[in-house]
Amino acid sequence: MPFGEVVCGAPGSGKSTYCYGKHQLFTALQRPISIVNLDPANENIPYPCAIDISSLITLQDAMDAHGLGPNGGMLYCMEYLEANFDWLESRLNELGKDAYVLFDIPGQVEVGTNHESLKRIIQRLSKIGFRLAAVHLCDAHYVTDAAKYVSVLLLSLRTMLQLELPHINVLSKIDLLSQYGDLDFNLDFYTEVQDLSHLENALNTVSPRFTELNMALISVIEDYGLVGFETLAVEDKASMLHLSRAIDRATGYIFVPPKEAPAPEGTIDSSADPASTRPNAFALFSTAAGSLPGDVRDVQERWIDAREAYDAYEKREWRREGEIVREQAAAENAKRPEEVKIKAGGIRERK
């Protein structure tokens, strides 16, 4: 049973960077991962791409063939992919039954909010066995402006209702948030989306003419009660691991045991089955035990309140770790025969 993420979000929200960072993290963890680029306009792909829609159709081809603009051409490409879903399915089958796939979606907003092609493609992926979750990235700097924050909430809510998947909304680039000035509230106010009436004063200051409209939009968001956010600093390992655990819970991948994990006692021998179909009692009970480790208050302290102090601490720890590695290498080198020594750069020197 393959698992995957539908990575969506507005242009500039960091989708491709997230996919690349996820590929590096999972490679280090020795977890399977493949990335599928479904953006026909993405010509500079930073990550290793297992499947690329450009081998089927490109945005420029659609625009030239049908006289379309960029927006119309993008929607045509999604419709073309839907009509040629067999092409995508055959290439996904080559990845194997235990694949973990990231689908990098175009940044055009209407692809995930109004247009039906992506929704139908996701439904067909689910029918062939994929366990998917939507990961919706939003640039964290929007929380510094009340009006922009409300617009992001509406966009996230509309995407959730459209895609009909387990959904993780993410405030990306949280490590850059301190560059945009002080927040009106603590970070947990924005991630938990509670009691948005506190935004009334800020909204009225910017656009007093639209007070009733603003409060009506806030009322809609609160009535649904669906939107919440995780945070992400893609270059921070702890942040990536925390988000990965949240996504694993949403998709059910947390119940997939490691390859070499023994089966629980009293169960049918399933060692020959794919890992995604084998029981994992430890994950079952650990999931039921409580919430994920980590807290948004720790994120605020790390990236907003005391970023400089944390950065200095990390640099000291990295320096100390490097010194320990050099000392260990020197100790091992001293034990080697005189005719084979290793220089500081790791090159063997023969005498």
What is the residue extent of each domain of the chain?
Answer: 3-290, 307-350
| C-alpha distance from residue 180 to each of 155, 313, 321 (Å) | 22, 23, 33
d(CA 234, CA 79): 32
pLDDT digits (tens, 9 = 90+) for 237-270: 999 999 999 999 999 888 877 666 666 666 666 6
Predicted pLDDT of residue 281:
56
CA angle in degrees (0–180, nearest 5) for 61-13-8: 65
Strand 340-342 vs strand 167-172: parallel, antiparallel, or unpaired? unpaired
Predicted pLDDT of residue 204:
85
Residue 41: HSE in the Cβ half-sphere, 13 Å Cα cutoff: 18
d(CA 258, CA 38): 29
Rg (CA), the chain: 24
| C-alpha distance from residue 338 to each of 123, 227, 297, 331, 351 (Å) | 65, 65, 54, 14, 8
Residue 249: HSE in the Cβ half-sphere, 13 Å Cα cutoff: 16
Predicted pLDDT of residue 202:
87
- Tell me the CATH number of domain 3-290, given options 3.40.50.300, 3.40.50.360, 1.10.10.10, 3.30.930.10: 3.40.50.300
| pLDDT < 70 stretches in the chain | 258-294, 337-351
pLDDT digits (tens, 9 = 90+) for 114-154: 999 999 999 999 999 999 999 999 999 999 999 999 999 99
